[in-house]
Chain A
């Protein structure tokens, strides 16, 4: 066995060092869907390699095959030049592969130490394993600037910290190849920068890093080489320094894409929404909104930036009539009900507020219902859809068909269940339902989360069109690019407060990042 390894190692050296990862002809189908088609890829040792592609391009499937989650239908995996079978995660770990998933795989009520040790214990008893892990963890933490408290519970530390635990988990298992799936989705810009520093440090130590993302900026910032995936196939592999975001976007989508939002300067009119000293206390008696005040005028987009979980969701829910609050909210000069039975989504809609919720799959749609049924939600009492007790199903279908055409939903089939549309098309169904009501105020949360680039462009255009029609728009997004590109004014939220307001062309990402992290400079507008 050793002889064999040495011989093939020597052979590899003769042709230059073997790539850390080599995939040959990997194919994988889920039923009729070909998720990966004949994929070949080489990732050189000691580099950061980006894999970019739209949602559903097959990136995650490919990496799941590499980590033993799925078995490929065909193809071969070579790790450091040796053909390697990876039937399960254990084999992947043994081959030196570590994976940091988009949704962390941590046990919430375990300590950091226990999470790191889990599955990689030294023996049957815990104590010696934990003691050894504690030592190694301190060492790793110092080496790579990843300080974590080994005894902290996962549920008590922030997401940035949790991600570090995931990386430490992989390193503790002696991973030489680290795969990160959409790692910056939950991070502040500063945390993302820190992550990139860690990744560069790891690369310089000789580790190989594969970064899966749909964010062009990350690819440009941190990778050495980049491969583009599209519709289950692996496209070009490029040297990052020799390409640019426009070229990558075009390769991803298959046509030219406008990365910038194309919009004229706003011409704000009268005040539509006026919020004063808005407060929300949740079930656990925690104050989620701590006295928020702002205004949105007709014909402008106010963007609310912030890391997820700082009160933005509650703000949308209060305005959408989903949860009660205290304070004062005026729409077109008259107060909205913030408590009691009159505080509900139906009344809000009647007042001219449309709401595109943050989580379309939980709050925006019923996934098992057909598109036309989903289009009726919230407006089921509309005389156009119903007469008395009976729904006008045929009319609804026709109406939905029209909406689907106007919003370029594919396939334009009203009878198809919501779950059978891609993320972008689901979002277009929700948008069509809300925007076509011609509301005075549109609340829109995470409009492009999990939506591919081509659809992002379309959705952004629609929101700008609504603004140009003189409507007020409140945009909540954790994507700073989106906030900067779409908003006419930006308010940054942190810990239930607005830390400050900025104009997009007078601020920088760094400044917004500081506000998002709760660092106020006294220029705040609260």
Chain B
């Protein structure tokens, strides 16, 4: 297994971890505010469909991206309405949205494009093209550093870089700003925020909204960056893996990056059985690789690697007490 193969696998890791990372950060905002979001999957899926559909129709991937974000925001809004305004069960709302997205996207796709529940393949300006970082061409020849820069880091769609930048941005927002302090507080003890004269409802909607935007980008990346068009159930459980990564990361942004890279690597390896065979002396079933994120999460939850303590008010609707 040569250096080139390593670069290839890591390159694939970076691409595959992007939707996970965006969804994971979306979950981080939502859950840090006390709203459990099992519907990350749903938001990504509708965003994937609408971004692909609109990008195909208009020919512009950017309009597609906006449509994806808008669709995701609508779903986020429904989740907010159910769990914040009407104080419903957050898990039930999330599961319902997952079902809704799964059925709705295929139904509309069939009705619009008549291609068996998919959108036509996207070409040209309807897709996010890889962009080259500055000097990518000129340093390509330098040993070690050259391939890492020009093959691994350069040549991804812009959304990959957006996802990476979202990590420090999230960290900064959460731990260096007033909004972040309040957001973290509302997920721990909403009564403290309420009595301090800050709106619990407002903060939670803001968090759910941010989650909507991030899931929208994640979904759009799936359909217009990673692949060229929408296909049925194309999120393939990424929303759940992102949730697993969130627990793995113990609800912290930088750790989320690590967790998503790890899970992305596992996905990349599952696609490269030749590499897996070269690494392991025995035949490693692909299914085992696919299930690793969940196994690792269970290990974390069982308390083997420190304690994963979720935000204390997570999952509970806020009711003013007498």
Taking Cβ atoms with an 8 Å cutoff, the residues of A that contact B are 60-61, 64, 67, 69-70, 88-94, 99, 101, 103, 105-110, 114-115, 117-121, 123-127, 129, 169
Contacts and interface: CB of A to CB of B under 8 A. Distances in A.
Given A106-B189, A108-B312, 16 more contacts: A61-B322, A70-B320, A89-B194, A89-B196, A90-B198, A103-B191, A106-B192, A108-B189, A114-B181, A114-B185, A118-B181, A119-B198, A124-B177, A126-B176, A126-B177, A126-B180
B189 to A, nearest CB: 5
A129 B177 CA distance: 10
B195 interface: yes
B195 A101 contact: yes
A125 B322 contact: no
B322 A107 contact: no
Leading 6 A-B pairs by shortest Cβ distance: A119-B196, A90-B197, A121-B178, A105-B192, A89-B197, A105-B195
A69 B177 contact: no
B322 A108 contact: no
Nearest to B176: A126
B178 A124 contact: yes
Nearest to A92: B197
Contact of A127 (B176, B194, B198): B176
Contacts of A125: 176-178
Contacts of B197: 88-94, 119-120
B176 A119 contact: no
A121 B182 CA distance: 10
A375 B165 CA distance: 61
Nearest to B320: A69
21 contacts: A60-B322, A64-B322, A67-B195, A69-B320, A94-B197, A105-B194, A105-B195, A105-B196, A106-B189, A107-B189, A108-B312, A109-B188, A109-B312, A110-B185, A114-B185, A118-B182, A118-B192, A119-B197, A123-B178, A126-B177, A169-B196
B193 interface: yes
Contact of A129 (B178, B179, B188, B312): B178
A119 B182 contact: yes
A474 B256 CA distance: 52
Interface of B: 175-182, 184-185, 188-189, 191-198, 312, 320, 322
Contacts of A88: 197
A8 B247 CA distance: 58
A108 B188 contact: yes
Contacts of B178: 121, 123-126, 129
A121 B312 contact: no
A110 to B, nearest CB: 7
Q: Which of A105, A114, A118 has its CB near the most chain B CB atoms (within 10 A)? A: A118
A105 B189 contact: yes
A123 B189 CA distance: 22
A107 B320 contact: no
A118 B176 contact: no
Contacts of B176: 125-127
Given A64-B322, A119-B193, A110 B179 contact: no
Contacts of A101: 195
B192 A121 contact: no
A119 B199 CA distance: 10
Contacts, number: 78
A92 B182 CA distance: 19
Contacts of A103: 191
A227 B184 CA distance: 40
A67 B195 CA distance: 8
Contacts of A114: 181, 185
Given A118-B181, A126-B180, A107 B198 contact: no
Contacts of B320: 69-70
A118 B196 contact: yes
Given A90-B197, A93-B197, A107-B185, A124 B191 contact: no
Nearest to A100: B195
A108 B177 CA distance: 19
Nearest to B197: A90
Contacts of B185: 107, 110, 114, 118
A121 B197 CA distance: 12
B301 to A, nearest CB: 16
A118 B193 contact: yes
B131 to A, nearest CB: 32
A425 B201 CA distance: 36
A110 B174 CA distance: 13
B234 to A, nearest CB: 38
A128 B210 CA distance: 26
A460 to B, nearest CB: 27
Nearest to B311: A109
A62 to B, nearest CB: 11
B309 to A, nearest CB: 8
Contacts of A108: 188-189, 312
B48 to A, nearest CB: 34
A391 to B, nearest CB: 32
Contacts of A94: 197
Contacts of B193: 118-119
A103 B321 CA distance: 11
A60 B320 CA distance: 13
Contacts of B188: 107-110
Nearest to A121: B178
A261 to B, nearest CB: 31
A89 to B, nearest CB: 4
A134 to B, nearest CB: 15
B81 to A, nearest CB: 21
B132 to A, nearest CB: 35
Contacts of A89: 194-197
B124 to A, nearest CB: 41
A99 B181 contact: no
A64 B179 CA distance: 26
A127 B176 CA distance: 7
Q: Which of B177, B182, B192, B322 has its CB near the most chain A CB atoms (within 10 A)? A: B192
Nearest to B180: A126
Given A61-B322, A108-B312, A115 B192 contact: yes
